[in-house]
Amino acid sequence: MLQLEPILAFEDNYIWVAHDDRCALLVDPGEAAPILAWLSDRRIRPVAILVTHRHGDHIGGIAEILHAYPDCPVFGPRHERLPQVTHPVADGDICVVAPLGLRFEVLAVPGHTLDHLAYFGHGWLFCGDTLFSCGCGKVFEGSPAMLHASLERLAGLPADTLVCCAHEYTLDNIRFALTVDPDNAALTAWQRRAIELRQAARPTLPTRLADELACNPFLRCHDPALVARLAGMSTAGFGDSTGAFTALRALKDGFR
């Protein structure tokens, strides 16, 4: 029976681990120490690493993990700053993790970085810093339109997909979301539940995509009520969902 666990790294990163008590798949191991300790304690060996993008808090632990487990394959985007990637992948490719019987479709989701990837399979979406619960990543490369298109692509996945994002940003994201969508009952209910989880030292992730579609303003830029509210809050005019997303992302960038 496969199990899925988030391993905390740094202050708020999650390294996702799928395992069967013998072998493990690691996703975005930005820090080696917590993963190496977890593997040693469980007597589990890593059989694959998936990389969504090249930021240090997602790849910083790979070299040390490979030093301990040199035969572990690493799937990720082809980039000069990712020399540890042994199996470069791109949009439409399939990643096969045979020891665990796993297959993942590779999705190009540029915006946070130009070569950002997501991995979808077995009801799981490993989306790195593209999609968060009630939020989305910052636009470091590309454009807001590019990130909006990537999120629209993820929004089209099955509603029961488990969204396995890489940071515990949920409460802060909800706090912002309520400023643009204060009458959303699903969002208010999620805030109450998320507070309970964090007070119990439990992760708020993964979330279901259906819940993100109900609560996450960055996935709801077609909603007339939300768009109308954004129009009143933004100094820039917009005429479509991409414009609404751009205004929303700008508001979030300035939110404290």
Residues 241 and 235 sit within 8 Å (Cβ to Cβ): no
| Residue 146: count of CB within 10 angstroms of its CB | 18
Whole-model pTM: value is 0.97
Determine the 3-state secondary structure of 126 from DSSP: strand
Question: In whole numbers, what is the pLDDT of the chain averaged over residues?
Answer: 96
pLDDT at 234: 76
Q: pLDDT tens digits for 170-215?
A: 999 999 999 999 999 999 999 999 999 999 999 999 999 999 999 9
Q: pLDDT tens digits for 69-97?
A: 999 999 999 988 899 999 999 999 999 99
Segment 11-28 shows an average pLDDT of 98
- The lowest-confidence range among 26-30, 209-213, 232-236 is 232-236
CA distance 132 to 137: 7
- Residue 155, CA distances (Å) to 83, 96, 128, 159, 186 in order: 31, 24, 15, 8, 17
The residues near 136 (Cβ < 8 Å, ≥ 6 apart) are: 130, 147, 151, 216, 218, 249
CA distance 75 to 70: 14
pLDDT at 236: 66
CA distance 166 to 14: 5
What DSSP string runs through 194-237? HHHHHHTT-----EEHHHHHHH-GGG-TT-HHHHHHHHHH-SS-
CA distance 22 to 240: 49
Residue 117 has pLDDT above 70, yes or no: yes
Token pair 């590019």: residue: 146
